[in-house]
Amino acid sequence: MSEFAWSAKYSIGNAQIDAEHQRLIELANDVATFAASGEKLPRIKGAIVAEMNATMKASGTAVKPE
């Protein structure tokens, strides 16, 4: 199931940030797939927090899971 698709029109011209945005779109599609399959929330939440931490690592911030 693919709800969202990356397009070159979304590019901001920064390869690292564009790659992070592409990964976030992939993650949004994963969430849609998980939701459609009845996947449990903790696994989805863990995947989102892990991706956010990877994305925010360069800024020295992190998201703490509850």
What is residue 13's predicted lDDT score, i.e. its pLDDT? 92
20/41 Cα distance (integer angstroms): 23
Hey, where are the domains in the chain? 13-37
pTM of the model: 0.59
What is the per-residue pLDDT for 5? 87
Tokens of 12: 């901001």
Q: What is the tens place of the pLDDT at every residue in 48-65? A: 777 777 777 755 655 555
Give the burial string for 16-55 (b: 16+ CB within 10 Å, else e). Answer: eeeebbeebbebeebbeebeeeeeeeeebeeebeebeeeb
* pLDDT one-digit tens code per residue, 13-44: 989 888 888 888 888 887 778 777 776 666 67
Q: Which two tokens stand for residue 48?
A: 């989102």
